[in-house]
Amino acid sequence: MQLKIHPAFVEKENYLVSAIKNFNSQGVVFGDGNRNIIKLFDLNGKTINIKSFKTPHLINKIAYKYFRKSKARRSFEFASKLIEMQIGTPKPIAFFENYDAIGLKDSYYVCEHLENVFEFRDIVENKDFQNRELIIREFTQFTFGLHEKGIEFLDHSPGNTLIKKSTDGKYQFFLVDLNRMNFHESMDFNSRMKNFNRLTPQKVMIAIMSNEYSKWYTEKSEAEIFNKMWQETHEFQEKFARKKRLKKKIKFWKK
């Protein structure tokens, strides 16, 4: 087993190692667990979140041993970097990697578990959500802040931003599922707009986001921002729909 523990939690190493070794029999399952399994554990009265990544196929087993960092390691390192850059994300605690003779067998990412939060997905799906437009605008400001710092969150999708209302009535945003990120010196206009393409298929939401983004990004007009943001969104939705149709056809022929 290879592991790295955040300095603030090194004294908890024995507990963390035990939690990983007994992951299958201990902890409380969180979420649906379709791809990766997340479980909650109690650490001295504080809830922590341990994510077990899906066992990689043969090629990735080898790749993760010799050529690429595991998803767990990337999650830990990216979370640490985001916090250094003052971007919200659950505090990283540790990552663990288990190897066999071929390559990576399994890996785990440990972080704090945030309470009293909701997903950006809730805003997309519920048009009557309280303070919906305000949250969309503050989320857009948050995304603009990512872009200004050169952070390209490749999985910037509705389920990967957690939102928490602060005591002053404003909203805090926390990125999760961090294993796919790029860090640039700067991001160009096209890259910025493409980064919005997974968030919502709703044109009215795109209109709000483009309006808010134009207040902060003054190199383009609001119309140019809207048109490009909507174009990227439409193209992504079309591609997503084609993939769904193809999967249905494949399932039909398999039957």
Looking at residue 13, its amino acid is E
* Span 123-161, pLDDT tens digits: 999 999 999 999 999 999 999 999 999 999 999 999 999
Confidence band of 249 (pLDDT split at 50, 70, 90): low
- Pair 196, 233: CB distance under 8 Å: yes
Tokens linked to 243: 């993939």
Mean pLDDT along residues 187-206: 97
Q: What is the residue extent of each domain of the chain?
A: 2-112, 118-243
Lookup: tokens for 205: 């939401």
202 pLDDT band (50/70/90 cuts)?
A: very high
Q: For 2-112, CATH number?
A: 3.30.200.20
| 207-218: pLDDT as tens digits | 999 999 999 999
Taking CB atoms within 8 Å and a gap of at least 24, the contacts of 55-62 are: 55/105, 55/106, 56/103, 56/104, 58/102, 60/103, 60/104, 61/102, 61/103, 61/104, 61/105, 62/102, 62/103
> Which CATH code for domain 118-243?
1.10.510
The pLDDT confidence band at residue 33, using thresholds 50, 70 and 90, is: low
* Beta strand 161-165 pairing with 118-119: antiparallel
What is the pLDDT, as a whole number, of residue 1? 84
